[in-house]
Chains A and B, each alone.
Chain A
Amino acid sequence: MLELIIFVLMAAAALAGAVAVVRARNTVYAAMGLLATLLAMAVLYVVQLAHMVAAVQVIVYAGAVMTLFLFVIMLVGVDRHEDTRETIPHQRRMTIGLVVVLLLVIGFVVVNGSFDWIPVVGAPADPQLTNGTVQRVAEELFTGWVLAFEATALLLTIAAVGAIALASTRRRREES
């Protein structure tokens, strides 16, 4: 029962945020919408016993990534109002069409329950198995998934270096 209420509330929030991202004219409003969605998602993760992931989501995603986004919005022009006319012919129409089709498909799948390896209707499995505490996650991460872990560490390093290179090349040239 509790889960249902939380689900409905958080789903509404996530959807509202998503729509805000897509529809807001002001870029900062869009960023705020995304933030709302991210926080709602974190709550949904907690409900599904993914505690560690929820925490990381809040710290990294909602924290660092959104902050970065806002910084860049500031750099790029925070008060610029985007021209809302669509330049590509048929783009809006096609998009709506595709969306309708997708939603219909989703609806079809949901109603028919044609995932036979994911029980759509029915109780979830034993909760203890998926209790995502830090300890449990760490156990799995550093044993089975250690290679991927190291690889992502490398990836992060490269990304950081790359970003600095991209951003700073201009500055060095400007100075000389």
Chain B
Amino acid sequence: MSLVVTPGWYMTLAAILFVIGAVGILTRRNALVMFMSIELMLNAVNLTFIAAGRAIGSLDGQLAVFFVLVVAAAEVVVGLAIIVAIFRRRQSASVDELADMKG
């Protein structure tokens, strides 16, 4: 590997961050931490978009990130409202207790 930082490096970093985010979802029980892991994954994707856009020489990557940002923000708003509502009911933020759909 030559020591020029190519978009590939950024993508690799993004991939690793994505994996860490996935681990976070699967491993943690606290709803808020799970949410934060999701944000982590979204950020990894954003990084991938930027790097890809740069690699093919188009601004579309950055525009995509822009929209991801917006939608993520909306998602966080609604998601946290839901968590608050659930917390009010159950006094616990553990997702393992939300198992009413058990088959």
Contact = CB atoms under 8 A, between A and B. Distances in A.
Q: In the complex, A touching B, CB below 8 Å?
A: yes
Nearest to B42: A61
B61 A130 contact: yes
A41 B43 contact: yes
Interface in A24-76: 24, 27, 30-31, 34, 37-38, 41, 44-45, 48-50, 52-53, 56-57, 60-61, 64-65, 68-69, 72-73, 75-76
Given A61-B73, A68-B77, A137 B59 contact: yes
Interface string A108-142: 00100101011111111110011010001100110
Given A27-B32, A103-B19, A167-B85, A48 B74 contact: no
A72 B83 contact: yes
Given A14-B13, A15-B17, A129 B40 contact: no
Interface residues of B, number: 75
B81 A162 contact: yes
Contacts of B20: 15, 18-19, 21-22
Contacts of A38: 43
A130 B53 contact: yes
Given A53-B50, A53-B69, A106-B15, A91 B26 contact: yes
B47 A76 contact: no
Contacts of A170: 85, 88
Nearest to B27: A95
Given A99-B23, A136-B59, A162-B78, 20 more contacts: A3-B5, A4-B5, A7-B10, A18-B40, A22-B24, A68-B77, A68-B80, A69-B35, A69-B36, A75-B84, A86-B27, A95-B27, A120-B8, A122-B6, A124-B57, A130-B58, A137-B59, A158-B74, A159-B74, A167-B81
Interface of B: 1-13, 15-17, 19-24, 26-30, 32-33, 35-37, 39-40, 43, 46-47, 50-63, 65-67, 69-78, 80-85, 87-88, 93-94, 96
